[in-house]
Every structure is written in C-alpha cells, then in structure tokens.
Structure 1
C-alpha cells in the first residue's frame, strides 16, 4: 500500500495520483479506505484550489484489484464492508468542495471510471478507452455510481454501457458525454494545466458555491433553498465580489482573495 495513493500540491493545484503502475493502478481495499482521509487533507489545504486525479504510468486505472476478490467477497459481511468503503471513497470525491478534474490516459475501467465520473470534469487522451464491466463479472454497481453515469450520458446510453460492458473509445466517449475534452497524449498534461489555471484564476467562492448548486440540481432540487438564497446575499457582501467589481471598473485582472 505504501505510496499507492500520492498527493502533491504545486501552486494552486493538488494532484492525486493512483500510483500502482505495475498493476495498472488497480484499486485495492486499502486505497479505497485511505482516499476519504486524503481528500479531507486536500480540502483543508488553503493552497490548493483545484484537484487533479490521474493514474501513474500512462494508465488511469484498470478497476478494482481482482487479486483481492477472494478476500473482500469471502463472506457477506466482508462484502458489505468492502462496498461500504468503496461507496464512502466515491462519495468523498463526488462531494469534494473544490473543483476536480480527472486526467484520463490509457485504460479507465470499472472503479477507475467510477472515480472519473465522481470528478467535475474529465479530460482524456485521444487513445484512452473506458468501460464499466459489471455485466462481464456478474456484479451490480451501486445506485450512486450508476446515477453519476446516467447524469453524464443519459438513460439509454447508460443502459447500453452497463448491459454490454463494452469498450468505449475516447472519440465515442466525447460524443456521448462520458468525457468533456480530448487531446493528443503528448498535449494532455498541458491541456489539463491550462484548465486548472483558468479555474484557479476565477473566484473560488463562485466555483465552490456553483458546484454545490449544480449538485443540488442534479439531485432534483428546483428552487432556491434557504442556504442557496443566503449564498446570493453573501456573495454580494463578500470580498471576491468587491475585488471583481473593482477590477472590472479599473480594467485589470482580478486577484480574488477567497481560498
């Protein structure tokens, strides 16, 4: 498990690397268990405005480590514990308050694609490929994992992906909404860096509240809640709006203070 998950912060950007390249970054029980705590540390780090999730060695993640199946599925209690830990890790990433980007190279399969879907944006190399493979194993994905797939690609395409477990090339993934942008492999890091820079230069107050509001809409909310209504007032009274307004009037780039 040592260094199977690695977090580095450089400037405004934190990078979470799935770091088992010899195993194509297959996800272990220990990795699922560790992930929520690592995300909490990044959330508390004021230096980090954006989180990038990637895999080491040119592969995002080949899915759950099949070598653990005999252990994690040995009894119903162990199975429940395993699914609980996976679910908590996925939920922690989906609920992470700062903007997140999945940088996808190579294979992005099963739980790896689940992690990518829990990110806000997915930027992939043109030679990447994706699959969700419960139908090839006789398994079922959780409702939250399935919901994030449906929100990305729609009901019919989600059914096709889950019914068949087929491989999805990057070009198709872009067309159906599974990823948001494609780049040549040699240009991928630069493209992700450009996107993180764009996000980091904008108001983080706006980004975090916008992410929360989009999440409420995805969960079916149709009207302002007491909390979202309060955010509108707080924004106008906040230091970021003051800086943004003054920068606009002065015809300069804003330097937003909220982190």
Structure 2
C-alpha cells in the first residue's frame, strides 16, 4: 500500500503498519491524526483478536518528522494543537480494547518509543535501538507517555533514559523491561506471529475484560471497583466461559469462535 499508515487484518490478527521506510518511518502530523480513525476501524472488526504494530523497511519509527517542526512549533497554539493530536493518538492505542503487540526493528526513538510503550507487549529484533530524546532538543516528554515509560522500566531506568537521552540496545531494553524479549532479526516475525496466534486463540471476552482491569491498575486503582467486580461476575454468564468450562471437562482445546456462533 502507498499510505504512510494503514490497517489490515490477516485472520484474527490485525496489523497497524507504519509505511515510510525512506524516512525510517518518521511520524508526520497527518499520521498522528489518522491513527485514532484506523484504531476505530480495527475496533469495529469483530473478527479481530490481537493487533500488531510494526514498521516497514527495517525500522519501527525514528520519531516525529523533524521536517515539520518549523510549522508545528511556529506558535504556542500550533505546538499545543500538535501535542494534543499526538496524545490523543497514543492514548487511543493504549486504550485499544484488545491486546496489542509492538514488533520492533531498527530505530524506535522518541515518539516511536512512545508508540511502542502504548502497546501491551513489545518484542524487538536484536539490532533494534531505543531512545527518548527530548533533552537533546530542549523539549519535555508528556506526562502520560512518561507514566507509561515508568510503568515499563521503573523510575531509575526512566530517569537514566530521559536525563541522558542515550540509546539502549535491544539487550538493554529487554533487561530493563522496556521490551518483553529480543530475538534475532530473522526470527522476530515468526516469534511475534506465534504470540499473536496464541492470544487470538483465547477468549475475546476475557481479553477485553483483562484490558479494562489492567487499564484501571495502570491508572492507579489499587482495589476492586464496581466496574471490576461487575466484569468478574459477568464473565461467568458468558458463552466463552461455557465453552471454556466444557472444553476443560472434555479435555480438549476450547473453540471460542464456536461460542460466538452459539450466540448468533
């Protein structure tokens, strides 16, 4: 496809593809503006079970497109508007109702790292490199993005990354928790595909409920809420639970697609 950012689905796995390889997938303002709509398209696809975010051409995303900075930061008003557009896009990805996986090759820098941090799981090729570099530009990192970084790596590593603006190797990223694991570049696609297939085989009802509860925890909730208790109770009335319970008793693999068909 010619679009710089697009969504497509293969079976139960969707892909959100960053497609500016000549620019190492630097993210333009138009791409940030398009992201929430593409996520709405993915959300409306009832066959979807998991979303993979990846870049074309050997890079994940090298950050925001610096060529646009003169216009974006021309006035405080335009800078504020752009900041809100980026925040809206990243918050929409973080709130996506199904599991998301960042498949990371090459550069994952600045806003690209923010995009990866908005995903639930992150897997990297062994040649990937990571950095969050506002201190090199005299800028700050937004609070929501900083919180997601701290949630992933803790305060000490977050301070190291932000204060130094240095790049981390894939091995360092895995050791700090910035990524779940790193693999040889030639096997990364297969490993991510295996995880996506495993997640896609699970209950969509469970996946959706778990995302909601994990989102509450990430937002600072420490005890059950009426919403979390309701989610827990409702699961016992679902077709997915009936199928999972029957499969357990019958010593077979549950077919949660069948449970959906039973509801129609």
- After superposition, where does 1:1-259 map in structure 2 within 5 Å? 3-256=3-256, 257-258=259-260
Q: Distance in 1 between matches of 2:212 and 2:246?
A: 26
State the 1:220 CA deviation: 1.4
State the 1:214 CA deviation: 1.2
Q: 1:54 to 1:230 in 2, by over 3 A?
A: same
Cα shift readout 1:183-210 (whole Å, capped 9, x = no counterpart): 1100011000000011011111111111
Q: Distance in 2 between matches of 1:232 and 1:102?
A: 28
Q: Distance in 1 between matches of 2:89 and 2:231?
A: 28
Whether the 8 Å CA contact 1:52–1:100 is kept in 2: the answer is: yes
Q: Distance in 2 between matches of 1:258 and 1:94?
A: 26
Q: Distance in 2 between matches of 1:183 and 1:158?
A: 23
Q: Distance in 1 between matches of 2:180 and 2:249?
A: 34
Cα shift readout 1:103-158 (whole Å, capped 9, x = no counterpart): 00001000000000000000000111100000111100110000000000001110
Whether the 8 Å CA contact 1:203–1:258 is kept in 2: the answer is: no
State the 1:225 CA deviation: 1.1
Q: 1:82 to 1:155 in 2, by over 3 A?
A: same
Q: Distance in 2 between matches of 1:156 and 1:165?
A: 14
- Return 135-144 or 2-11, whichever deviates more: 2-11
Q: Distance in 2 between matches of 1:96 and 1:217?
A: 15
Q: Distance in 2 between matches of 1:157 and 1:182?
A: 18
State the 1:234 CA deviation: 0.8
Cα shift readout 1:17-47 (whole Å, capped 9, x = no counterpart): 1000001100000000010010011011012
Whether the 8 Å CA contact 1:205–1:258 is kept in 2: the answer is: no
Q: Once superposed, which parts of structure 1, at least 4 consecutive aligned residues long, lie more than 4 Å away? A: none
State the 1:222 CA deviation: 1.5
Q: Distance in 2 between matches of 1:135 and 1:230?
A: 44
Provide the TM-score with structure 1 as the length reference.
Answer: 0.98
Alignment root-mean-square deviation, CA:
1.2
Cα shift readout 1:164-184 (whole Å, capped 9, x = no counterpart): 110100000000000001111
